[in-house]
Amino acid sequence: MTMFDKILIANRGEIAVRIIATCREMGIKTVAVYSEADRDALHVLEADQAVCLGPSEPVESYLNMDKIIAAAKQTGAHAIHPGYGFLAENPLFAQRCEQEGVVFIGPPAQAIRDLGDKTHARRTMIKSGVPVIPGMMQPETDPHVLAREAGQIGYPVLIKAAAGGGGKGMRVVRQPGDFSDACVSAAREAKSAFGNGDIYLEKYIDKPRHVEFQVLADSHGNVIHLLERECSIQRRHQKIIEETPSPALTPTLRDKMGKAAVAAAKAAGYVNAGTVEFLLDQDGSFYFLEVNTRLQVEHPITEMITGIDLVRQQIEIAAGNQLMLSQADIVGRGHAIECRIYAEDPLSAFLPSSGKIHFVKEPRGPGIRNDSGIYSGFTVPVEYDPILSKLIVHAQNRQDCIRRMIRALKDYVILGVLTPIPFLVDILSNEAFIKGETYTDFIEAHFAQWQPLIQGIDLVALAYVVDAVANRRRPTAVAQSDAEAFSPWLTLGNFRP
């Protein structure tokens, strides 16, 4: 059984910290890379070694393949874990690692390339018998051809970027008169996000659920799924709350979708951890959406209900080891929910909120996990995705899990930047969410005009100011001896017996 001695993490923030944790448990040394903006970032402090890549702009740091490969060679790292985002789904980077003799902890470059081309992926799934949404099999740029295809598919239609996902280049068009402008806008956004303005069309499904299956595949031909995650609570096509199991799936439907996910992975020649995403309509029919060829942001909820460390599995598979799990070994216990905590302003259409974090108090208690990349005193840079942490809770059933998450969110204090914590609490407290009526239009249907309670924000800010002022006025004790100098009684602040 082979294993790496040292791994470089080509990422930042909470996902880099999370990968480092598993490496430490496995006895593997870690190398962090960072930009000048991240010099004091938590992942830099946690790693065994750290290498500065250069300026804060991603193209000069986290997206610079030459610098990352050079850092791996300089530090003697045998493998690179890309996390998610940045270079994680870049086939050129996976190929470059292979050429340079560094193991890429992820799927083969060809699988990333094939599945990253959405229309190619659709054709692959059709050949393997996986159901797909009616739509185009080839990308297109000619607006006249696209308009003709839209008429044949039937409105409403969904315009999608052929070269990427994450909601970029995506537009819903309900009337023919809106189609031309939507195509131009979608192609422009796709070009900006992925360097490729090709788009294609799918039939738009009203009120679907977004259900995905985690898969693991080794290089010895073994492929299994680790059950589903429901990711229907989305804002602007970005997931903000995920849960498992899905409240919509029966054991029969779960088995059917799981087998389709495994078939999809096998058809693509997939190796390592990945996620097969489906849309589930109200009649119980499901359709292939895409494959994310990386570790998902929401992977912790799968870990919580299965007890399986997905990062460890990624590393083991990349080292060439055989998967030691069979499908029969995969059992989900209880319920898990994840809330993404971003630095964003609920008062300004959830725009990013950068700045210094003055104070952080993480929630504690049974069944609570917080994957975080921040600490008190850390400055949130403007250059990167504003995710701060992921709050995950686990309980015996969905109702208890919701209550535990609400309590944990209310106990989570982050001062200095704004966060959507009040928004998340309101979603979880909503009657439709509690009933499990979670569709991809949930935010638009229930929270289109949402505004935070300013009183609550004001009270938290006031409490922080009062505490800061009180601590500044605390008299400094003069130690009478070396023993007193380290007395815990001198660290209690304004304690009164």
Type of residue numbered 23:
C
Is 472 in the active site? no
Residue 484 CA to residue 497 CA, distance in Å, equals 18
Type of residue numbered 192:
S
Type of residue numbered 99:
Q
Residue 277 CA to residue 229 CA, distance in Å, equals 9
Whose structure tokens read 């990167």? 384
- Cα dihedral 355→361→363→369 (10° resolution): 60
Q: List the one residue out of 161, 257, 174, 173 whose CA is nearest residue 209.
A: 257
CA-based radius of gyration for the chain: 24
167: left (phi > 0), else alpha (psi -120 to 50), else beta?
left
Residue 418 CA to residue 399 CA, distance in Å, equals 28
Residue-by-residue DSSP string for 59-117: GGTTT-HHHHHHHHHHHT-SEEE--SSTTTT-HHHHHHHHHTT-EESSS-HHHHHHHHS
Type of residue numbered 32:
A
Residue 339 CA to residue 91 CA, distance in Å, equals 30
Residue pair 339/239 in contact by the 8 Å Cβ criterion: no
Whose structure tokens read 């985002």? 85
- Cα dihedral 91→93→99→101 (10° resolution): -120
Half-sphere exposure of 354 (CA within 13 A, CB side): 8
Residue 169 CA to residue 174 CA, distance in Å, equals 16
Q: Looking at 18, 229, 294, 369, which residue is catalytic?
A: 294
Which are the catalytic amino acids?
294
